[in-house]
Structures are given as C-alpha cells and as structure tokens.
Structure 1
C-alpha cells in the first residue's frame, strides 16, 4: 500500500514539474506573411525624393527562448524582408550615388532591405490572462538602394548602407479564457533628434493546437515599420512599410 501511494505521489510530482517547466521554459518559433505597402522616399544628401512603390508580399521569421534564470533576460531574434521597387516622374533634378537625374525624366528604384531584431526582454507578468514584457531591441538594418533613369540606363546610382539602431521594446498579450482567442500588441521605438524608428504590430490570435508536446497559434494582424532616419551610414529616409499579415507560431 505504501509503495502504491509512493508511486501515485511520484507521478503527481512529475506531472507538476512538467507543467511548471512548460510554464517557465519555452522555445517559440514563428513565421508571418506580410502584405506590405510602402510610402515615402530616400536620398543620400537629405533632399528626399518620394517614389510610388509597388505593394509586395514579404516574409518575417522569429525564434524566442524564455527561461526562469533571475536577472538574465529572455531572447528573441526576428528577421524581416522589406524589398520593394517603385518609380517617380522627376519635377526637379535629383542626385543619387554621384549621378544626376534630370527633371522631366522618370527614375526607377529597387530597394533591398532587411531588418534583423535582437531583443533582450524580461517578463513582468506571465499567465493565461495577461503577459507583459519590456526590454531593449538592437535593430540591424542592412540595405541597398538602386536608382536608374528609365530612358537612359547609363544614368544609375547605387548606395549600400547598414547600421544598428538601439530601441525600447514592449509586448502586451491578453487571453480570453476557455475560447482559445487572444490579442497582442508588440513594438519597438526610438525617437532622438531627427531620428525616428518605430516597428509595431497588433494581432488577434487563435489556438489551433495545445498539448504537452507543442502549441500552435494562428495570428492575424497589422504591422507598421517607420524608418525616418537622418544619415544612417550616409542614407536619409522617410519610409513607411505597413500592411496586414497572417502567421503561425509554435511553442515547444
């Protein structure tokens, strides 16, 4: 009888430890498809020219690791593609990459841009009803800008740029008990002198699967990235990337 009671106790204890480990330890992986609209412009001398950009569908991928070690922050890494292209009918002359684009010509542009976020954060609250995270984000922007005269291909300019921008990070998530539904808003922000960089998203979530091995959550939301920078590696910009997204997140 004692052995039987001891066995039941051990099983119960292991069950509690497993549940606690699932609460305190977590590996998250997610992917999103982003229907991205781009507005604004850029230059290499501060006289930004606004282009008419095409809408694009881009991808974003992230992983995050959470743990119970005191004072050591959790880690999230996210990578987002923001490539696009556009054109503008110039009303004034425009210099880019040491090339002069004359008035009354049409300039075409191709933007290659990726954003990589390395986020260190702490969980101030974490339960089924609400979670609240705060931290810092080192956002690494890596891009290439190409401009060409549509009527004179010999006139073209190309500039590459990259840089790390420190930002404040926060995330709030709210769950609705017994429904599988939830909501979150997540964002990073910087405003300093003539530099403004924001990256936020808000989404409804729905739990598709939840068991001891894996949780799967569907996301449907909106994301906006504003890149208003003054001389980041020689590039000036007032660009905004925005639009709806859908995604899946796995929690192991």
Structure 2
C-alpha cells in the first residue's frame, strides 16, 4: 500500500517537474571558429596573399543566455567573439596616414561583444522555435601594419553597431537539431551581415542538456571612413566546432 501511494505521488509530481523545467533556462556555449579573411582595408589594401596576406586563424566564441516565459520581457544573450588575424605580406599603398612600399607584418583584431535581447514567437508547431530581437555589437579591436622603413601605423576598429537579430531552430525526437541565426544592419555605405548555420546533437543525459555542434559562420563587414576610422570591405568566414550546456528549472 505504501509503495502504491509513493508511486502515485511520484507520478503526480513528475509532470509538474517537467513543466517547471521549461519555465527558466540558463545555458552556455563555447566553440572554436576557424576563419579565412578576404577583402580589403582602407580602399585598396588587400588582406589576401596579394597584400597583407593575413593567415587563417582560430578564434573563439563564448555565449551565455537566459530564457524565461514572462510575456513582453525579452530573453537575454551575451556573446563574446575573440578574433585576431596576423600575416606577413607586401604592399605598395597607403594605410591610414602612412605610405608603405615594402614587406610588412600586420594584425587585424575583429574581436567583438554582442548583447542580444530577443523574444520567441508562440508558434503551435512542434520542434520549431523562431526568435527575433535586437543586438548591440561592440567592436573593440584594431588594424596595424608595420614596415622596416615606414614604421608602424595603427587604426582603431572600435565602434558599436545596432543589429536586427533572427534565429530559427528545428529539433527532432532523436536529439539532432539544426539552426540558422543572423544579425544584420545596413545604412549608407555601412553594412554588417553575420550568419551562422549548423547541426547539433543533444546527448541523452538527464537533468542537464549537453550538446555538440558544428557549423559555418560568415561575417561581412563594410564601413565608411566618414563614420569610423577606416574604410573596410572584408569577409570573415569558416567552420566552427563546439559544445553547449543548459539547465531548466
């Protein structure tokens, strides 16, 4: 009799606990992003092998997020991308206020931090989530070129951009999921398009959700020197590989 009562109590509590797991979610993601740069800086200085010759590099992406069911109050996501590219090349052009005609070493730091406020659409479609919102992106880097004769010229890449944010995620009953997310803004000669898409797998582990994910991310940045310190027209893209951890309560 006691065993029957205990089983009934557990069955009564289990749906409540499962529902509570869906109320609030905190989580984190981390990944390595292998990037290949193309394009130019300062209206004519190529970042490819015919100019600065910036190498492929591994950057890092770290994201923390918090989701809740309260209407009208946005969910929160904070993402830090660390990305510094280096290269040895040769240019015959002006960069900033200095003219180079020699072999050069260079760095381009495009590290940035995203603060995203977003809402989910209440769709009556199982396994499909659509989110939309706004992102404030703070670039905190620089581009620097050094030559033995001309010396060093450094230009700050330090500015904030407001972006429109959107995400679509499709889950399956088997733990496999796919997602696409994009941040975008365009005004005048300034444009930033940042898209990621990938596939992941949630491991069958109780209590917490642990996932593995791989995908592709491409960022296109165009800037007007009237608004920032330097004109840029660069594409940064490549595969990323990472893991995620989330907990509902």
TM range (shorter): 0.7 to 0.9
Quote how far apart the aligned CAs of 1:189 are. 0.8
Alignment check: 8 A CA contact 2:145 2:152 kept: yes
Matches within 5 A, 1:4-15: 11-15=10-14
Please, which of 185, 192, 197 is the counterpart of residue 192 of structure 2?
197
Alignment check: 8 A CA contact 2:110 2:157 kept: no
Could you tell me which runs of 5 or more consecutive residues in structure 1 were left unpaired when the two chains were aligned: none
Report the Cα distance in structure 2 between the residues aligned to 1:236 and 1:209, rounded to whole angstroms.
48
Correspondence for 1:239: 234
Report the Cα distance in structure 2 between the residues aligned to 1:248 and 1:155, rounded to whole angstroms.
43
Correspondence for 1:144: 142
Residues 135-154 of structure 1, C-alpha deviations (whole Å, 9 max, x = no match) = 111111111211111x42x5
Could you tell me which runs of 5 or more consecutive residues in structure 2 were left unpaired when the two chains were aligned: 49-53
Structure 1-normalised TM-score?
0.87
Alignment check: 8 A CA contact 1:31 1:248 kept: yes
- Count of residue correspondences: 239
Shift of the 95–250 alpha-carbon distance from structure 1 to 2, 3 Å rule, reads closer
Quote how far apart the aligned CAs of 1:100 are. 2.2
Please, which of 151, 159, 162 is the counterpart of residue 155 of structure 1?
151
Quote how far apart the aligned CAs of 1:165 are. 0.4
Correspondence for 2:46: 50
Correspondence for 2:114: 117
Quote how far apart the aligned CAs of 1:125 are. 4.1
Correspondence for 2:130: 132
Quote how far apart the aligned CAs of 1:9 are. 6.0
RMSD of the TM alignment (CA)? 2.1
Structure 2-normalised TM-score?
0.88
1:70 paired with 2:64, answer no
Report the Cα distance in structure 1 between the residues aligned to 2:188 and 2:21, rounded to whole angstroms.
44
Correspondence for 1:101: 100
Shift of the 87–239 alpha-carbon distance from structure 1 to 2, 3 Å rule, reads farther
Report the Cα distance in structure 2 between the residues aligned to 1:25 and 1:171, rounded to whole angstroms.
19
Alignment check: 8 A CA contact 1:89 1:106 kept: yes
